[in-house]
A and B are shown apart, each in its own frame.
Chain A
C-alpha cells in the first residue's frame, strides 16, 4: 500500500511517501532549526503558523520526491497526538482534506508509536521488544508486544534527556541545538575529569531524572570560571554526556533484565548521540541483545516513520474518516483504546 504520511505535532512539519510500511520513497522535513538557531537557546517559534505555511509545501515535495501524484496514493496517515492543539490541527486538517477529496482511508498515529517503528523502515524487528524513546520531550522505556500493544516501564520524572542536553548547551554558551554541539566537543574531552551525579542510578526503578544533573552542571559552571572555554569546556561536555549516557544505558539494561528482553530499539532525537549509540552497543553485546537504532534522519521527527504502524492499521481495514480528532494528551499505553 502506498501511504502519504503527515507530521506536525511539535517543531517539524514533515511529509513522506512510503510503500508497504517499509520502502521510503520520499521523506521531507521542513526543518525549523535554522530559524531557531538565531535565538541561541531552546528556541521560540513553535508557531502553528509555521506549520500552516509549510504543510502544503512538504506534501508537494514528498509527492514529487516520490515521482508521483496523489492519484497513486492509497492511504493517508497523520500524527494525531500528543502535542499542541494548534500544531496538530494543521496536519490533521490537511490529511482529512486529502483523504476526503481523494476518497482515501485515513488513520491517526501516536507520535511516539511512530518513533518505536522507525527502525522497521530499515529492517523489521520481531515482537516483543524493549524500546527506549529519548528526545527533547521524552525519555521513556516501553515494552512493545505488537502493533498497538505498549506498556510504559519507566519514564523521566522531570526533564527529558534531550532537554538536559539543550539546557546545558545553553548555559555553556553553545550554539543550538545543544545536543549536537556537546556531542562534538565531548569527543575531545575526558569524561572522567569532572564528577557529576548519576540521578536515580541505583533506585531499582526504570525511571529517570535529569533536572538535578542540569543544576549540578550549572553550579559547577558558577564555581569554576573558565569552565565554558577551551579544554575545560570539552571536559565538561564529555563529563555531562557520560553521566546522561551512563544512566540511560544502565536503566535500559535494568529493563532488559526485568522483562527478559531479547531485542532493543533506541529511537528519538537523542538516539543520534554518538556516545549513547556506542554505550548501548556495548551493553547490548554484553547482554546478548539484538540492538536496533535507526539512522539519524529516522531518529529525529519525520513523517516516514508513521507509515509503519499506519500500513498495519490500514491493511486491517481501519479508517478514521472525517471524525478524526487530535489528542493533546494521549498516553502511549492507551493507544488501542483510542484507536481511530
Chain B
C-alpha cells in the first residue's frame, strides 16, 4: 500500500494526472478524506490525464452528485455525500456509469455497500501541513493492484 506525500496542490494534481493517463473504462477510484484534503485538486489532475479539454472547469459535484466529462474515455466524477444509501443508487441509475464506457472517480463511496464495484482502487487523503497532503493507495481486487503497479513502478520488488 503506497503512501505518498505531496507538498503542494500542484503536486497533488500532478499525481492525479498520472493516474488519469492509466484509467480504462470500468475503473472505479474511491476517494476518502476530509474537507480541504486535496480531493478536488487531485480530480482536476485526473481529468487532465484522461484528456478532458483543459478549458472545461472541473467543478465540485457535491450539489449535482455527478459531473460527466468527455476525454480519451468518459470520466464520471461522483460525490455521494448527499445520497442516503443503496436504494437511491439503484433508483438514480448509477450502475450504468459504474460498469459503463467510462471511468468513475467517486467521493463518499462509503454511502455504497453492496452496490460498490468489487474491483477498485481506494485513495485516502489526509492533511499533513497547510499545503502538504498524505495519499494512501489501497487496491481492492486485481485491477486496483495493476493500477498501483503501473503508477509506482519503483515499488515493484
Give chain A's interface residues, CB within 8 Å of chain B. 10, 41-49, 82-87, 135-137, 155-160, 162-163, 167, 170-171, 207, 211, 214-215, 218-219, 328-329
Contacts and interface: CB of A to CB of B under 8 A. Distances in A.
A85 B63 CA distance: 14
Contact of B36 (A46, A137, A215): A215
A218 B59 contact: no
B72 interface: no
Given A46-B65, A82-B64, A218 B92 contact: no
Given A42-B81, A160-B60, A167 B68 contact: no
A45 B35 contact: no
A86 B36 contact: no
Interface centre among B36, B40, B57, B81, by most chain A C-beta atoms within 10 angstroms, is: B36
A48 B91 contact: yes
A215 B36 CA distance: 5
14 contacts: A41-B81, A44-B81, A44-B82, A82-B64, A83-B64, A156-B57, A156-B59, A158-B57, A158-B59, A160-B59, A167-B35, A211-B40, A215-B35, A215-B36
Contacts of B68: 328-329
Interface of B: 35-36, 40, 57-60, 62-68, 81-85, 87-88, 91-93, 111, 130
A48 B92 contact: yes
B64 A47 contact: no
B89 to A, nearest CB: 10
A46 B40 contact: no
Contacts of A83: 64
A129 B40 CA distance: 33
Given A42-B81, A157-B59, 8 more contacts: A44-B81, A44-B83, A44-B84, A47-B84, A85-B93, A155-B57, A159-B40, A163-B60
Contacts of B85: 44
A42 B82 contact: yes
B60 A171 contact: no
Contacts of B36: 211, 214-215, 218-219
A159 B93 contact: no
Nearest to A167: B35
B6 to A, nearest CB: 14
A43 B19 CA distance: 30
Given A47-B91, A171-B35, A328-B68, A211 B81 contact: no
A84 B92 contact: yes
Contacts of A211: 36, 40, 60
B63 A136 contact: yes
Given A84-B65, A155-B57, A156-B57, A45 B82 contact: yes
A159 B35 contact: no
Contacts of B83: 44, 46
A158 B81 CA distance: 17
B35 to A, nearest CB: 6
B82 A46 contact: yes
| Minimum-distance CB pairs A-B, first 7 | A137-B63, A215-B36, A86-B92, A136-B63, A44-B84, A218-B36, A159-B60
Contacts of A162: 63
Contact of B130 (A82, A84, A156, A219): A219
A48 B89 CA distance: 10
Contact of A44 (B58, B64, B67, B111): B111
A167 B60 CA distance: 12
A55 B58 CA distance: 32
A41 B111 CA distance: 14
A10 B63 contact: yes
Instruction: Specify which of A87, A155, A157, A215 lies most central, judged by the most chain B CB atoms within 10 Å of its CB.
Output: A215
Contacts of A85: 92-93
A86 B81 contact: no
A218 B40 CA distance: 15
Contacts of A219: 36, 130
A214 B65 CA distance: 19
Nearest to B111: A44
Contacts of A328: 68
Highest count of chain A CB atoms <10 Å: which of B81, B82, B83, B92: B82
Contacts of A159: 40, 59-60, 62
Contacts of B58: 157-158
Contacts of A156: 57, 59
Contact of B62 (A42, A49, A87, A207): A42
A86 B94 CA distance: 9
